[in-house]
Structure 1
Amino acid sequence: METTYSDEQRFIPLISDYGFKTTFGNEANSLFLRTALQALIKSEAAIEHIQFLPNELSRLTLDSRSGIYDLACQDAQGRFFIVEMQLSKYPEFVQRMKFYSLYRFNTLVKKGDYAFEGLPTVYCIGILAESIFPTIMEYHNIAVLKNQHGELIDEQTTIITVELSKFDKSLASIQSDLDKLLYTMKTLHTVTDPTQYPKFWNEEWLRLAIDELDKRAMTPEERLDYEMTLAKNALAIRNVKKEIEAEVEAVKTESVRRALQKGLQPEIIAEINDVSVDFVRHVQDQITHEDD
């Protein structure tokens, strides 16, 4: 979920790995999280208490591999919240959210000895930097089960998505906590001068988050944690790039192999597969050695 930002910025982006962890995941003071969740689900009532839960879905596959989402918690009413941040394009993101919500639903049913009455609501919240709904203009969507007339059938599992790229409200038009939250997520890391601060950044819940993201106020331990997070993410990105490059090379190698087996000339094979003639000859040498 990470991207790169300038070290000259005063504030760590709220949508970065570190920023999300220290604001939404602040277990010492959950005021920001509780207010943000209330705004995201459009609840009239304040969320008074939050219990953080393990963010791992254990033993999802036959080989016991697990799945991990960014944050999981439960409020005093028993409602479950799963929160995911996604910076890169992910057209199938809704499918992932459905998987998470259905997994939690199945877990609740099993705990109740397969009883379906009185199940708490599961909110699966996805905050995306990029758009995934090109035909929908709204930046904030709440999806529940409805019939063909738009009448509510069930809202026990609710999927909420926010597309930050669609949020373009001017500062003067911002009034709701939801818009305050999204404005902060989009702009905080671009602000350097305190005179640029909107008045609502002095509200306690936002002030709490902003203070956590101010690099000038960091303790040495917090700074080290931040730098280690950046290093870890940079390494992960490099490893993913290497894996992708290896997969691309494997595909090209197989394509070149098949072309060689059909008797095509190296120059033609190189042009078709967008590789060098030396690459083709290298594959040709491999085939020769395999046959020896």
Structure 2
Amino acid sequence: METGVYIPIISDYGFKATFGNEADSLFLRVALQALIKSDSPIREVHFDKNAFEALTIDSRSGIFDLSCTDEKGNQFIVEMQLEFAPYFVQRMKFYALHKFNTLVERGEFDYANLPRLYAIAFLEKGILPTASYHTVANLRSEQGEIIDSQMSFITVEMAKFNKQVAEIETDLEKLVYTMKTLHTTEPTQYPAFWNEEWLRRAIDELDTRKMTPEERAYFARVTAANAEAVKAERQKIQEAREAENLAVKTETVKNLLSLGVLSISQIAKTVGVSEDFVLNLSGDR
């Protein structure tokens, strides 16, 4: 993605420099508190070694993640998804249940004392049939009654967020606005809340004017590697779509041939393929 003075938070580099900043976790702690709608400040977090390394081979194609634990033992999985992902909810469940099983095993199957688990996902595109940009989901009854709150699924669909600076009040709104607009904003257009300590520290990490030569070189390498990875992933998606389209056309041609009603030429025009394609499937060659 294009970068001006500030590196996008929603880039690989930006995500690691802000959410994944082990040396200064203030931004992450305030962000997590806002995301789970807690009145209690998160005073410290411990970063877990990424438990999903073997499961996220495609992480460079627009999925970045981290895992951490707060001082109360609450578990957090935070993910960022840039490409359109209609089945991302399934991915969230896979990660959360993998983490849940790990917690149970570590606790020697003591279900009564399991910590809270929050699976949090930032999605650049919208995928849920909901109006709100921020969704908190738990296991509920048909009447909407909470059955279990030990595991929570939280999604932030940034495409649905459209508040202007004058409308922004909560830390959650400040967070999403910053994630959406920082890299397109000039320093002279700073909203006042960007001077709040938790946001100012994060923004400083993304200010290209304050980067050392080594940081600039690293940023350039990460950007180039991600661009190639995304390009390769899109090529794979395109090839998969073409293969699926070919399979559908093949099945349609076979069905029409079996009916014996249309000529080779008519079938080719109906399905949108060449006559040679139809002939090869008809067995007349």
Larger CA deviation: 73-82 vs 161-170:
161-170
Structure 1 pair 115–171 and aligned structure 2 pair: CA distance change class (3 A): same
Q: Distance in 2 between matches of 1:248 and 1:128?
A: 22
**2:219 counterpart of 1:223:** no
Query: Percent same amino acid among aligned pairs?
Result: 50
Q: Distance in 2 between matches of 1:148 and 1:252?
A: 39
The equivalent of 2:119 in structure 1 is 124
The equivalent of 1:33 in structure 2 is 28
For the 8 Å contact 1:57–1:67, the answer to whether it is kept is no
Equivalent residue in structure 2 for 1:176, among 148, 157, 170: 170
Q: Distance in 2 between matches of 1:190 and 1:232?
A: 22
Equivalent residue in structure 1 for 2:101, among 106, 110, 131: 106
SS in 1 for 2:111: coil
Equivalent residue in structure 2 for 1:213, among 206, 210, 216: 206
Q: Distance in 1 between matches of 2:217 and 2:53?
A: 30
Equivalent residue in structure 1 for 2:8, among 9, 13, 20: 13
**2:73 counterpart of 1:78:** yes
Which amino acid counterpart does residue 103 of structure 2 have in structure 1? L
Which amino acid counterpart does residue 121 of structure 2 have in structure 1? G
TM-score relative to the length of structure 1 = 0.81
For the 8 Å contact 1:123–1:160, the answer to whether it is kept is yes
Task: Give the deviation of 1:99 after TM superposition.
Answer: 1.3
**2:150 counterpart of 1:156:** yes
Larger CA deviation: 180-189 vs 106-115:
106-115
SS in 2 for 1:189: helix
Task: Give the deviation of 1:274 after TM superposition.
Answer: 5.5
Q: Distance in 2 between matches of 1:122 and 1:33?
A: 16
Structure 1 pair 225–274 and aligned structure 2 pair: CA distance change class (3 A): farther
The equivalent of 1:46 in structure 2 is 41
**2:128 counterpart of 1:141:** no
The equivalent of 1:287 in structure 2 is none
Alignment of 1:239-250 (within 5 A): 239-244=232-237, 246-247=239-240
For the 8 Å contact 2:81–2:122, the answer to whether it is kept is yes
Larger CA deviation: 104-113 vs 41-50:
104-113
What is the aligned-residue RMSD (CA, Å)? Answer: 3.0
How many residue pairs end up in the alignment? 271
For the 8 Å contact 2:79–2:120, the answer to whether it is kept is yes
For the 8 Å contact 2:253–2:271, the answer to whether it is kept is no
Structure 1 pair 21–273 and aligned structure 2 pair: CA distance change class (3 A): farther
For the 8 Å contact 1:34–1:49, the answer to whether it is kept is yes
The equivalent of 2:283 in structure 1 is none
Cα deviation per residue 1:202-246 (whole Å; 9 max; x = unaligned)?
111100111111111111111111111111112212322443455
Task: Give the deviation of 1:73 after TM superposition.
Answer: 0.3
Structure 1 pair 154–67 and aligned structure 2 pair: CA distance change class (3 A): farther
For the 8 Å contact 1:56–1:66, the answer to whether it is kept is no
Which runs of 5 or more residues in structure 1 are unaligned? Answer: 285-292
For the 8 Å contact 2:50–2:66, the answer to whether it is kept is yes
